[in-house]
Structure 1
Amino acid sequence: MNKQRRKFLQIGGMLGVGAALFPYEIAARSAEIAKLSKFGLQLYSVKEEMAKDAAGTMRKLAGFGYKQFEGFDGGKGILWGMKPAECKSLLSDIGVDFISSHADVFKNLDEQAEQAAEVGMKYLICPYIGAQNSVEEWKNISERFNKAGATLKSHGLKFAYHNHDYTFKMLDGQLPQDILMANTDPDLVDFELDMYWSHVAGYDPLKYIAKFPGRFKLCHVKDAEPDGGDTHDRGVLLGAGEMPYAEIIKKSKKYGMEYFVVEQERFVGTTPLKAAEANAVYLSKLKV
């Protein structure tokens, strides 16, 4: 083989290897600079504004970059008095998905489920159940969740439970959150992890998600100021606290987390709408 031909084959081989590796290199680099393409807001964060002008407030939030909403019953139902068709039209106009709503899942569940399904929601969520006095009571709560989940499944929806800190406080040698995980049917009940509440209760949210892969599909993203001790009043704007959300979000997706919902309940030196805008900016720039 002459030198010219050998050199040609060597160059060709090198190009071949480079071409084969090129897509993987792109993927690796893309992973390094990946951003969170969609994130939501729990509308309770702007509850006063929602009470005054729900449609106008939702339009403003969409302008901040939110692509998903999670609702709540503000006294006018989960659609704030809007008809499903009206709400669906608004969402289409502003380019937002209404993924879920906190609701009283033990009253008029079929009626609420019909409304939720019509606007495209995927979940109705129990936002609060209160601390129970015994392990047996928590098992009874689990069964109520299973029944609510079965009702919602018949409407094409899913049930989820949103925790506070009380499910992360030991009771008779057991963690109430563990009891719920063990006694609810994964086919009927998902969970929305409020990462702030687990954090201030002393449980690493990422480690807890890893213990139960596939059970936590939604989460509340809110930050806690450092060195707060046991106090619950530690909420700050995203990025101003001690919770490493770039890592939490990136790794939690590996365990089945799908929806990242901002919630802000404490406002220091800001307003609810300004906080919502600042949190959207933070998440839009976060490398996950």
Structure 2
Amino acid sequence: MKKTFFSLCLATTLVLGGANSFAQKGKPLYTFPLGVESYTYRASFPKSVIATLDTIKALGITEMEGGAPKGMTGEEFKKLCDERGIKIPATGSGYEQIVKDPEEAVKNAKELGATFVMVAWIPHQKGNFTLDNAKKAVEDFNRVGKALKEKGITFCYHNHGYEFQPYENGTLYDYIVKNTNPEYVSFEMDILWAQHGGADPVGLLKKYGSRYKLMHLKDLKKGIKGDLTGGTPAENDVTLGDGQVNIPEILRLAKKAGVKHYFIEDESNHEYEQMPKSIAYLKSLKE
């Protein structure tokens, strides 16, 4: 891990220093704090929490979405992050857990200093997300969102692609957005999973802009045709800017919509190679 960390520092310097090679004219489009989803380093955290956080800090990342690694309390993890100038504005919860005990989700969030809690999966039969699944989610989200708001926490639902099952003149995702109370339920857009599910992230931002508070930045390999399973092989998650997602337009609209936090999530198995390149790409974008 030590060798990997120092190699990464060198690679980061070289790649970020070379970002100007594809820089454009105009004001920077990337003006938000640089964030990462902790799942990006799922293979590294179990080996060494300290070395992984040092790696994240070396990349210039100042925000993270995630929770305490196994065997560590929220307070302990927050302290390590604080020492490295990394804030945790958002954390996640499983659907069943938060529905059963919203208070526990609030407690976990407050230990980390998070003000957002997101749920990224609605239980359903794979490849068969139904209206009944959506109706139950709407009911649960409105109740849980209210409970969290009363404690100063914002609840967000993170799309995974399967929700774009056609329904009436739109999709079941449209049904969920339209039937959840904006006071209690916000959304985190995962731009890869929206694209993979057959939706247009740009169109969604134009339609529901202010409902989005968080965003996962990731890119889908060119030529890959998505489906409604909510899954794709790791090799289809590519460096930002190398895939088929219209990231510049998404960022312009997200900024306009008031999205609060942006987290790069690299689900590939090449995160040490791809993360510095993705950051360089973001820094190259101009209005």
1:63 maps onto 2:58 in alignment: yes
Query: In the superposition, relative to structure 1, how do residues 152 and 55 fare at CA in structure 2: closer, same or farther (>3 Å)?
Result: farther
Aligned to 2:139: 143
Q: Give the 3-state SS of the residue equivalent to 2:88 in structure 1.
A: strand
1:250 match: 252
- Give the number of equivalent residue pairs: 251
Percent of aligned positions with the same letter in both sequences?
27
Aligned to 1:121: 114
Q: AA paired with 1:245?
A: I
- Sort the Cα spacing of 1:170 and 1:96 in 2 relative to 1 into closer, same or farther, 3 A: same
Separation (CA, whole Å) in 2 of partners of 1:259 and 1:206: 17
Q: How many angstroms does 1:139 deviate by?
A: 1.7
Contact 2:159 2:189 in 1 (8 A): yes
Report the residue type matching 2:75 in the other structure: A
1:168-226 alpha-carbon deviations (Å, 9 max, x no partner): 12146651111111111111111011111111222210111110121011111111122
Asked if 2 retains the 8 angstrom alpha-carbon contact of 1:65 and 1:280, the reply is: no
After superposition, what is the alpha-carbon deviation per residue over 1:79-134, rounded to whole angstroms, capped at 9, x for unaligned?
A: 54333332232222111110111212234431232131133101111111144654
Aligned mates of 1:209, 1:190 — CA distance in 2: 13
In the alignment, the residues of structure 1 paired with residue 32 and residue 142 of structure 2 have an alpha-carbon distance, to the nearest angstrom, of 32
C-alpha contact (below 8 Å) 2:93/2:117 kept by paired residues = yes
Q: Secondary structure of 1:41's partner?
A: strand
Instruction: Identify which range, 196-205 or 83-92, moves more after superposition.
Output: 83-92
Instruction: For 1:3-22, list aligned pairs within 5 A.
Output: none
1:191 aligns with 2:184: no
Unaligned runs of 5+ in 2: 1-24
Residues 1:34 and 1:163: Cα distance change in structure 2 (over 3 Å):
closer
| 1:168/1:133 CA distance change after superposition, 3 Å | closer
Partner residue, 1:4: none
Give the distance between the partners of 1:197 and 1:244, measured in 2 at CA: 13
Aligned to 2:18: none
Any idea what SS the aligned residue of 1:48 has?
coil
Task: Tell me which residue corresponds to 1:91.
Answer: 81
One-letter amino acid matched to 1:98: I
> What do residues 57-97 of structure 1 show as CA deviations (whole Å, max 9, x unaligned)?
1221121011110115xxxxx45433333223222211111
Distance 1:149 1:80 in 2: 26
Q: Verify: 1:286 aligned to 2:279, yes or no.
A: no
Q: Return the TM-score normalized by structure 1.
A: 0.79
Amino acid of the residue matched to residue 187 of structure 2? F
Q: Is the 8 A contact 1:238 1:279 kept in 2?
A: yes
CA distance in 1, matches of 2:26, 2:286: 9
Question: Could you tell which deviates more after superposition, 161-170 or 232-241?
Answer: 232-241
TM-score computed with the length of structure 2 as normaliser: 0.79
What SS does structure 2 have at the residue aligned with 1:56?
helix
RMSD: 2.3
Higher alpha-carbon Rg = 1
Instruction: Name the structure 2 match of 1:48.
Output: 43
Summarize the Cα distance change of 1:133–1:272 in structure 2 as closer, same or farther, 3 Å threshold: closer
Task: Measure the CA separation in 2 of the matches of 1:239 and 1:197.
Answer: 16
